[in-house]
Amino acid sequence: MNIQIPCKEMVIEQIDDVVKSFLKCLSGDVDRRLVFAIHELIINAFEATLRKYNDQASNYPINLYIKMEENVILVEITDQGDGMAHHLNPIDHKQLEEVLLQDRGRGLLMVKKMVDKISFLNEGKGFKVSIEKRR
């Protein structure tokens, strides 16, 4: 599945249902933790796009790509925002307890705990987060 999500809050609220339906068709069941992880990453992409483009953000869609290879679900979320704040990267060396009371940064650490692999790529014109989850 490859869809472009308009950078509009009302659309983002509805994307969970699309993701749940697709995952059910793809793998026969719905992993709620994976749905949560995808939702969190879409919210991050939405916020990054809003930070960069403000009122024009709706002109810069977020791309969601999901596929399954053998027993692994692969997800890529790409935006045209301003990337990840440096204090959040790399998340490899942080624990959830360290950021629990901070305003930002908890979501990525929760995602990291819910998936088998997470990676980030700043593509110059955009920012991509990839996750993998074994079934």
Q: What is the pLDDT of residues 82-127, one digit of tens each?
A: 877 654 555 555 555 565 556 666 788 889 889 999 999 987 788 9
Question: What CATH code is carried by the domain that includes residue 22?
Answer: 3.30.565.10
- pTM, entire model: 0.86
Between the two ends of the chain, the Cα-to-Cα distance in Å is: 17
Residue 78 banded pLDDT, cuts 50, 70, 90:
very high
Give how many domains the chain has, as a whole number.
1
Handedness of CA 110, 112, 115, 120 (dihedral sign): positive
- Exposure of 24 in the CB half-sphere (CA atoms within 13 A): 7
- Domain hosting 76: range is 2-134
Please report the pLDDT score of residue 97 as a whole number.
58
